[in-house]
Structure 1
């Protein structure tokens, strides 16, 4: 399916133009961090997310009950490794259909609300999202399927202050 001009313009308005993050789904976070550290990525920050620390998690239009652990390392683009822990989630859906590996491209945006509005204006449904995961309950993320693409796209409003990194 070819991407039409309206969809392309909507994505640019929602995401900007440069890829800020490349994300992979992994079976074991610790061994994956070790592998990627050997490939030159360092300064890992580790977080566990669920409805316990995401103010408004959603999955396919309903309240989300997912849980996942992730590692963030490197920059330009940042590498994100995600280990799904509990579903349902888009991560579990993806693994069932495609297995582990490359999952999505992430784009840092100034406003998750504005990005979600632009997604909707472009005719794209948010398939998973969360808001309020920063120390001050700011920050948010929203995923959309891109028609005709083998990847998912994510808009990321980085919180001003992140919670402290966990240990592996």
Structure 2
């Protein structure tokens, strides 16, 4: 059970994909989800990266889109050891984790560790000013899903792309 002191509503549903560009097009065209804002994260941006409790360097491309109060995330692993690459190898594309936004990331991490959750992967520094953090935990009981604790950055970096691209309409007046 997620400790009640960090249990906010699940705000993010995330899937692992092999091809981010193709996936955002399909989600937009077939489900009407979008616009998608995509980022590339890895060494040079992320700090204090870990994988299964050990220091590790990894990189991903990911895209975010909101539908009402739920954020969808599509994650394409690029390199290094990661739980996203593990998921693709073991299960293929599909549902990967549920995300909860927290105000105090360090305190939330301490609480889920104290509750017996196993750390899987983490990093910080994805915001434009070096803030923002994420950490993933195994939830073997009873959720049967990976849980991500997310501390949003105060300002996002410039995206790698937005899909569909914003249109610039010219006035005919």
Which range is displaced more, 79-88 or 90-99? 90-99
Partner in structure 1 of residue 158 of structure 2: 164
Partner in structure 2 of residue 4 of structure 1: none
Partner in structure 2 of residue 28 of structure 1: 19
Partner in structure 2 of residue 5 of structure 1: none
Partner in structure 2 of residue 68 of structure 1: 60
- State TM-score, norm by structure 2: 0.86
Partner in structure 2 of residue 84 of structure 1: 77
The answer to whether structure 1 residue 52 and structure 2 residue 10 are counterparts is no
Question: Is contact 1:51–1:64 with CA below 8 Å preserved after alignment?
Answer: no
Partner in structure 1 of residue 134 of structure 2: 141
Q: Which runs of 4+ in 1 moved over 6 A?
A: none
CA distance in 1 between partners of 2:112 and 2:43 (Å): 24
Question: Is contact 2:15–2:97 with CA below 8 Å preserved after alignment?
Answer: yes
Q: 1:129 pairs with 113, 122, 134, which one?
A: 122
- State TM-score, norm by structure 1: 0.89
Question: Is contact 2:17–2:88 with CA below 8 Å preserved after alignment?
Answer: no
Question: Is contact 2:117–2:137 with CA below 8 Å preserved after alignment?
Answer: yes
- Give structure 2 stretches of 5+ with no counterpart: 163-173
How far is 1:164 from its partner?
Answer: 0.9
Question: Is contact 1:133–1:140 with CA below 8 Å preserved after alignment?
Answer: yes
Larger radius of gyration: 2
Aligned partner of residue 97 in structure 2, secondary structure? strand
| Bigger fraction of residues in strand | 2
Aligned partner of residue 18 in structure 2, secondary structure? coil
Aligned partner of residue 106 in structure 2, secondary structure? helix
Aligned partner of residue 95 in structure 1, secondary structure? helix
Over residues 54-91 of structure 1, what are the superposed CA-to-partner deviations in whole Å (9 max), with x where a residue is unaligned? 12111111112111100001242111000111121011
| Bigger fraction of residues in helix | 1
Q: What is the aligned residue count?
A: 159
The answer to whether structure 1 residue 43 and structure 2 residue 31 are counterparts is no
Aligned partner of residue 57 in structure 1, secondary structure? strand
- Give structure 1 stretches of 5+ with no counterpart: 1-7
Question: Is contact 2:14–2:97 with CA below 8 Å preserved after alignment?
Answer: yes
